[in-house]
Amino acid sequence: MQIKLHNVSGGVFTTSGPQVDFELADAGQANVTIHVALSDGTHFHFPDGSSSGTAQSTVLPPGDYTCVVLVAAFGHGSFGRSYKSTVAIGGKKAASATGSLPAGTDAETDTQAFVLRVS
């Protein structure tokens, strides 16, 4: 698994605040967990019981925040082995991971990070 970053330039993803929406979603068949952590201590997690793609939001004063994105896919007891995960911030795609768990592998994960600049 490899997480790709989108709209990140020089390690920075820019969005406007103070209210910032985070949309974590997966359209695959494997059991996938997506986690976004911000350096101010805010965490967003998928699945959270709501339907995939439901936006969660937080209020962020202007500034730079380190943002860590973790995606993990599991095959045990799952509907299938594919994953198609996305993280969108402020309506813009920030990270994605697409693929399938290889045969003989029950779990895969990757982590990415960038600076979230809130204007």
Partner 1 sequence: MKTTILLVGLAVPLIVSAQEADDKFKDFLIDVGPGHVSAGDMLKLTDSAITTIEAPKDFVALLNGLDSSDKSGGFGFAITPARTSLTPLSIDSYRSNNLARLWGGTTFSYAKNRNPLGGVEYKQDALAVNVSYYLHDKDDPHVAAYDAFANCSPLKQLVVDESNRVMQSLTGVPPEKIQEVLARSKRNPQFLDAASAAAKECARQAASPKWNATQFAFTIGQGWIRPPGAGSPRVTLARTVALSGAYGPSENTLLNYTLRRSDRVLDLDTLTTTQAYKKTNIAAVRLTYGQGDSRDLYGLIEASNVKSSVATLPDSAFKFALGIDKRVMEGVWLEFRLGRRRSVDDGKEETAGLMNLKFSTTTTLPKAQAKL
76 binds partner 1, rule: CB under 8 A? yes
Per CB under 8 A, which region of 16-24, 38-46, 55-63, 90-98 contacts partner 1?
38-46
Q: Give me the 45-74 binding string for partner 1, x by CB under 8 A, dash otherwise.
A: x-xxx-xx-----------x-x-x-x-x-x
Q: Name the residue nearer to partner 1 (CB basis): 14 or 17.
A: 14
80 binds partner 1, rule: CB under 8 A? yes
The tokens of 94 are what? 């920030």
Under DSSP, the state recorded for 1 is: -
Q: From CA 45, how far away is CA 84, in angstroms rounded?
A: 16
Whether the CB-CB separation of 81 and 75 falls below 8 Å is answered with: yes
